[in-house]
Amino acid sequence: MSQDKLNKENENIDGVKTKEETVNHSHKDNSETKEGKLKKYIDGKRGKTILSMLFVAIIGIGAGFYVGTDVGRNLPATHKSYTKSQVLASVGDVKITGEDFSKRMEPYFYYQGLKKLSNEEIESQEVNTINYMTNLEALYKAGKEAKITVTNDEVDSNYSKTMSSIESSFNLTEDEFLKRFDLTKDYIKESLKKEMVATKYLQDNSEVSEKEAKNYYNNNKEEFFEIRASHILISNYDEEGNEVSDDKKKENKALAERLLKRALNGDSFDDLALENTDDTYTASSGGDLGYFTKGQMDESFEDAAFSLKVDQIYPKVVETNYGYHIIKKTGERYGDFDDEKESLIKTLSNNKQSTLLEDALEKYDVKVNM
């Protein structure tokens, strides 16, 4: 059975991942991508969870005003009204009203078309949207205070690109789009300007030099300790990716126990993997998973693998969400700085951006009243 049938990515509402959904005040990223070899990658190779902050290389209008490629919808099945004068949030002296909020939510409802959203889906989008709007205002204020500027020509160019994408996504002309959502060119340009200033503020203040990265590497060497392991997987999923019955799981565990006994008694681990593993990615290489650090594997798998000495086989069958594993540790090392440098610089830069956002939210006394 192909291991990729067990790998599933978390998706956002209706399969559409809006860029607003990467931003929240809790500063936690709950999305997780499961790739081959059972590895759980969060931003490259580092096991330490970091955040990709909101605006770098992102034009937020693309999230707030258009999403997806479906077109030709007339009346959304979901609609919700917001009291125009109600203050939903404040960022310093800036008030975010129901009218402002509606301008962000209406295009989202329109995109959903004939899909009737649940209350939970609406509330989730509302949280994402208000967080996006407050984060934007806080970082824009920080950018202005830092004397970050963008030119009118830059804003106009961005506006043209944005409207071109909107027209393609919504199958509406510029004028039709503005009229439908009660928007103006000036309103969108002002939003773009804020996002461009916020983006530039984050970029200008989150650069990480190679020297900084090397210092971090030297002072936190334990984070770069990695091991190499091989495994034999007896999967608890059938060829269509469906979970097998409890009786079949018992059979699978018994098979794994027999294979473990053979491995412990000296049978070739490579041959056992080639002949028996359900992980088709690693079968031909004797179950080799390569090197990985803590935080990249299923927890129970990781605990077992890291407890071993090199060339030692874990004395018990290990159960994960994938099935049953026989695990052998085959190597250990500290990751080389040159190999780690690119992802480490990205991690440290994202950490700086997290701090910039947190500081801005505190400095400008962000309050949400929803």
In degrees and rounded to multiples of 5, residue 34 shows phi and psi of: -100, 115
CA-to-CA distance for 364 and 77, rounded, in angstroms? Answer: 37
Whether residues 194 and 281 fall in one domain: no
Residue 157 tokens read as 């160019």
**Residue 12 three-state SS:** coil
Whether 113 is in a domain gets the answer yes
What's the predicted TM-score (pTM) here?
0.67
Q: How far is CA 178 from the centre of its chain?
A: 31
13 burial type by CB count under 10 A (0-12 exposed, 13-18 middle, 19+ buried): buried
The DSSP line for 275-313 is HH-S-TTTGGGTTEEEEEETTSS-HHHHHHHHTSPTTPB
Examine residue 66 and state whether it is found in any structural domain, yes or no: no
User: Can you give the pLDDT at residue 168?
Assistant: 83
Is the same domain home to 247 and 167? no
The verdict on 142 and 261 lying in the same domain is: no
Residue 258 lies in a domain: yes
Kindly list the distances between the CA atom of residue 95 and the CA atoms of 24, 60, 83, 175, 267, in Å, as whole numbers in the listed order. 19, 19, 14, 28, 70
For residue 172, the model assigns a pLDDT of 85
DSSP code at position 187? H
Number of domains in the chain: 2
pLDDT the model gives residue 75: 56
Looking up residue 282, the CATH number of its domain turns out to be 3.10.50.40
- Do 296 and 358 fall within a single domain? no
What per-residue confidence (pLDDT) applies to 111?
77
Residues 305 and 328 in one domain: yes
Q: Using H for helix, E for strand and C for coil, what is the string for 109-172?
A: HHHHCCCCCCHHHHHHHHHHHHHHHHHHHHHHHHHHHCCCCCCHHHHHHHHHHHHHHHHHHHCC
**Same domain membership, residue 239 and residue 201:** no
- Residue 32 inside a domain? The answer is no
User: Tokens standing for 359?
Assistant: 């500081």
User: Are both 200 and 224 inside the same structural domain?
Assistant: no
Q: Which domain holds residue 201?
A: 46-60+71-205+354-368
Whether residues 97 and 232 share a domain: the answer is no
284 and 361 housed in the same domain: no
DSSP 44-89: TT--S-----TTTT--THHHHT--SS-----S-S------TT-EEE
Residue 225: in which H helix or E strand, if any?
strand 225-235
Q: Do 248 and 312 have their domain in common?
A: yes
Confirm whether 364 is domain-assigned: yes
Is position 130 within any domain? yes
User: Do 364 and 242 fall into the same domain?
Assistant: no
User: Do residues 50 and 85 share a domain?
Assistant: yes
Is 226 in contact with 185 (CB distance < 8 Å)?
no
Terminal alpha carbon distance of the chain:
48
Does any domain span residue 267?
A: yes
Residue at token pair 């077109």: 71
Instruction: Give the CA diameter of the chain.
Output: 76
Q: Domain containing 198 — which CATH number? A: 1.10.4030
Q: Please, which residues have CB within 8 angstroms of residue 341's CB and are 6 or more apart in sequence?
A: 210, 213, 214
Residue 12 maps to a domain? no
How do the pLDDT tens digits run along the chain, 370 residues long?
333 333 333 333 233 233 333 333 333 333 333 333 343 322 333 222 222 333 322 223 444 444 433 444 445 678 888 999 999 999 999 999 999 999 999 988 887 877 888 999 999 889 989 999 999 999 999 999 999 999 999 999 999 999 998 888 778 899 999 998 999 999 999 999 999 999 999 999 999 999 999 999 999 999 999 999 999 999 999 999 999 999 999 999 999 999 999 999 999 999 999 999 999 999 999 999 999 999 999 999 999 999 999 999 999 999 999 999 999 999 999 999 999 999 999 999 999 999 999 999 999 999 999 8
